[in-house]
Amino acid sequence: MRTQVAIIGGGPSGLLLAQLLQRRGIDSIVLERKTKDYVLARIRAGVLEQGLAGLLEEAGCADRLHAEGFSHDGTLIAYGDEMFRIDFKEHTGTPVIVYGQTEVTRDLYEAREKAGGPIVFNVEDVVIHGADTNTPHVTYTVDGTTQRIDCDFIAGCDGFHGVSRKTIPADLRREYEKVYPFGWLGILSETPPVSHELIYSNTPRGFALASMRNENLCRYYIQCSVDDNIKDWSDDAFWDEFKKRLPADMAAKLVTGPSIEKSIAPLRSFVTEPMRWGRLFLCGDAAHIVPPTGAKGLNTAASDVHYLYNGLREFYETGSADGIDAYSANALSRVWKAERFSWWFSSLMHRYPDQSDFDQRMQIAELEFLRSNKAAQKAMAENYVGLPY
């Protein structure tokens, strides 16, 4: 087979890139190692920056987002029984949109299929060849048969465990990582949200987050030990602990119910540099991971797509390689700012095993400063709604 851009990874970043390129008449083939149903079953983020919403509009995939998404003009931050609000509209003029990543992926699959864009599922043994030449190609197997795609460029959108990052020689890669000493236990429940806006809560018992997907679907989290076993957390145990980490007035309003999904996610910050090697470009989790605090994972992947799509578009439409040559530097500049925000917000809201009394008082002082200082609120709001591309 022959295509212009081979895209490894059929998650939202790979699909979004494919759809944007398709709208510009640039051919691509998407390779995904799992099934479509498996990809759609992943429970992921649900807060979208306006930059991502704009890319979905450009890709022709935003109708359901605008019809069903919830615009949030702020967020709530609690510590103990104290709570205050960061007003996004006041400080930035911009809201965020609550719309599940699963729904984003579903919309992108529908658009890809409607456009007749090829997606190959259940691929195995993916190997990238000649990425440092002008004639790269990708080989893979499906049902035991080896296939080959010749292409101009390769977009590695295959996540942290994918083949793309590892294709860049180890002596040319530099990786930065911070592993956090806790995880997030999350449940999905068909219950009305305890609050219209998200609640981030710092308590002596640990962090909690009250999030939502729609008017009758909530995603709630509590900080837990990385060694916890999901089997040891019954629904009743989760709800009991979650209530203790909300302000009393919110806990009194909480509607509980059976979980329809429950999982524990470890937290890490990770960045690899560079994000380009020859004609191979890393995108999203293949190049970087952020803690979920502040909802930057999908949104940072979207900013990668923005820079890569525009670089490729410029190359095919004008012959200029300036955009693709600047891709890694431009993407990493924004990635590191998102990493900083997620690291800062995680450090502010969680309890660490080695925290001293002094450290905890510093957290409270930082929260009270944020509560009372408009400049600090503006800085947080600007980062939360998304820095410009």
Nearest CA-CA partner of 17 in 301, 325, 290, 324? 301
3-state DSSP call for residue 275?
A: coil
Respond yes or no: is residue 384 known to be catalytic: yes
Collapsing DSSP to helix, strand or coil, 226 comes out as coil
- In this predicted structure, the answer to whether residue 123 has a pLDDT above a threshold of 90 is yes
Can you count the helices (H) and strands (E) in the chain? 14, 20
Decide if 381 contacts 216 (C-beta within 8 A). no
The pLDDT of 92-108, averaged and rounded, is 95
Q: How confident is the model at residue 45 (pLDDT cuts 50, 70, 90)?
A: confident
289 in Cβ contact with 179 (< 8 Å): no
Q: pTM of the predicted model, to two decimals?
A: 0.95
CA distance linking residue 127 with residue 131, whole number of Å? 10
Is 337 designated active site? no
Catalytic residue among 12, 72, 91, 306: 72
Active-site residue among 200, 220, 221, 309? 200
Instruction: Write the pLDDT tens digit of every residue in 166-200.
Output: 999 999 999 999 999 999 999 999 999 999 999 99
Mean of pLDDT values over 65-87 = 95
Q: In what order do the strands lie in the sheet with 276-277?
A: 119-120, 28-31, 5-8, 153-156, 280-282, 276-277
| SS3 label, residue 47 | strand
Q: Of 99, 307, 309, 384, which is the active-site residue?
A: 384
Average the pLDDT over each of 42-51, 177-186, 216-225, 322-331 and give the range with the smallest value.
42-51
What pLDDT is recorded for position 80?
83
Mean pLDDT of the residues in the chain: 96
Phi-psi region of 18 (alpha: psi -120 to 50; beta: other; left: phi over 0): alpha
DSSP string of 63-123?
HHHHHH-EEE-EEEEEETTEEEEEEHHHHHS--EEE--HHHHHHHHHHHHHHHT--EE-S-
Phi, psi of 66 (to 5 degrees): -70, -30
CA dist., res. 367 & res. 375, Å (int): 13
Which residue(s) pair with 76 in the sheet? 85, 199
Q: Known catalytic residue: 72? A: yes
CA 261 – CA 186 distance, rounded (Å): 8
pLDDT at 43 over 90: no
For 340-361, write each residue's pLDDT tens digit: 999 999 999 999 999 999 999 9
pLDDT tens for each residue of 208-240: 999 998 889 999 999 999 999 999 999 999 999
Please report, in angstroms and rounded to a whole number, the separation of the first and last CA atoms in the chain. 34
pLDDT tens, 270-298? 999 999 999 999 999 999 999 999 999 99
Only one residue has tokens 């795609």, namely 149
Q: Residue 46 has what pLDDT?
A: 87
Number of Cβ within 10 Å of residue 260's Cβ equals: 11
Which entry of 292, 307, 309, 316 is annotated as an active-site residue? Answer: 292
User: pLDDT tens across 13-41, in order?
Assistant: 999 999 999 999 999 999 999 999 989 88
> Among 296, 306, 316, 327, which one carries the catalytic annotation?
296
What is the C-alpha to C-alpha distance for residues 83 and 246, in angstroms, rounded to an integer?
A: 10
Query: Residue 258 pLDDT more than 80?
Result: yes
* 114 labelled catalytic: no
State yes or no: pLDDT of 335 exceeds 80. yes
Whether 36 is catalytic is no
Mean pLDDT along residues 87-104? 95
Q: How far apart are CA 126 and CA 139, in angstroms?
A: 6
pLDDT band at 266 (very low <50, low <70, confident <90, very high): very high
Which DSSP letter does residue 247 get?
Answer: -
